[in-house]
Structure 1
Amino acid sequence: MQKTSLGPLVRGRRRKLSITLQDLSDKSGVSVGYLSQIERDNATPTLGTLAQIAEALGVGLDYFIATPRPVDALTVAAERPRFSIDGSSIHYERLGAEFPGNVLSSFILHVPPGYRSELVRHEGEEIIYILEGSIVQILEAEEIRMSAGDSLHYRGNRPHGWYNDSGAPARILWTGTLELFRGKGGRAAELPRRAAEAREGGRE
């Protein structure tokens, strides 16, 4: 399973652009305090928050997560690679494919008991479907308990987050229009070069 240490990559890219934490906060909508924790590897953002940071840094999410890009639309369950962000207890399975004009991203999330996400808001929309277990979805001021078979469709600009207080693992099918692996970052083949640049920046 692939893991990525985010702190040096975020810090290195920010320094390469010669912007402050406050600048990055203004561009991404993520607080200075939380960005500082991420750069010190004391906090692990969700994919949605990381996508906001990536966009503010002028790269795609694949700058930080070197996941394989499927050559077509088929993913085989027994062969589907998983990945996680270093420090996070959530494992992801990527379902969506990349092709010209596609607007959806889709993942299966494996969520351990006790996990709690941060509250986020962003452009686009999301659908979650509980495959196994249960979670509590936060949508603005409302908390919605969801169990296997339940689904929820909402706009990303509404503050949202979720947590698993069930005492058992949960599996969630997440689909959304939030651009995670597309954008200004380019193709996955460029990842080794970008990672090296970021790590060099982290040693400045």
Structure 2
Amino acid sequence: MAQGTTIEPTKLGQLIRKCRQQRKLTLKELCDKAGVSIGYLSQVERGNATPSLGTLAQISHALDLGLDDFVARPKPVDAVSYARQRPTFSISNSGVTYETLSSEFPGHELSSYIMNCPPGFVSETFQHEGEEFIYILSGSIEKTLDGEAFVLREGDSLHYNGMTPHAWKTLGQTPARMMWTGTLVVLQDPVKNWLPGQDGSGK
């Protein structure tokens, strides 16, 4: 596995606050745009809470920034993802590490990662546009969709609409490893999103 990049919660919170203030947004205004609570975002800005990848993506999208403005995520230069050279990153002390599988090219819609999740990990509840597909490579998790829980083990998969409230946790004493693929547009850098008819100039 390639060397990853870890973001400290204090520095991440300071950066989010700085970007919010530069845009002259109140805490409430950013929360309304990002779909998170004022109390939670306040904790994040003070470095007392660590956002998940999905929440960080919602915040960055609300600030009209790409996820890469907060996560030093290397970009593959071609379509091949070699197991021993795969770019990885993590978000502070959540314990979850992400291996980048997908590449970027004009018009791409999918993002894909391998998620390595420690025993005892419990996510927050998410709800967003787009769709998600997960495939369990090893270990087991409990995935909750709109209040209904499903136990997924090695070889199991799940495909769902991101607007369905969803959360998950690692089961047992061993790490869970799963592939995540989705059309979660806020995971894409809006500056580099190319659309037909825009001559590659981006949004």
**TM-score (norm. length: structure 1):** 0.88
Output aligned runs, 1:37-186, within 5 Å: 37-185=43-191
Any conservation in 1 of the 2:68–2:189 contact (CA below 8 Å)?
A: no
In 2: Cα distance, 1:166 partner to 1:16 partner: 44
In 1: Cα distance, 2:35 partner to 2:130 partner: 15
CA shift, 1:185, in A, is: 4.7
Q: Identify unmatched segments of 5+ residues in structure 2.
A: 194-203
SS at match of 2:58: helix
Q: Which residue of 2 aligns with 1:8?
A: 14
Deviations 1:80-126 (A, max 9, x none): 12210112210110001000010000000000001011001000000
Any conservation in 1 of the 2:61–2:186 contact (CA below 8 Å)?
A: no
Aligned-partner residue type, residue 132 of structure 1 = S
In 2: Cα distance, 1:182 partner to 1:127 partner: 17
Q: Which residue of 2 aligns with 1:192?
A: none
Identity among equivalent positions (%) equals 52
CA shift, 1:166, in A, is: 1.4
Query: What RMSD, in angstroms, separates the aligned Cα atoms of the two structures?
Result: 1.4
Moved over 2 A (4+): 179-187
Deviations 1:117-139 (A, max 9, x none): 10010000000000000000011
Any conservation in 2 of the 1:61–1:185 contact (CA below 8 Å)?
A: no
CA shift, 1:181, in A, is: 4.4
SS at match of 1:87: helix
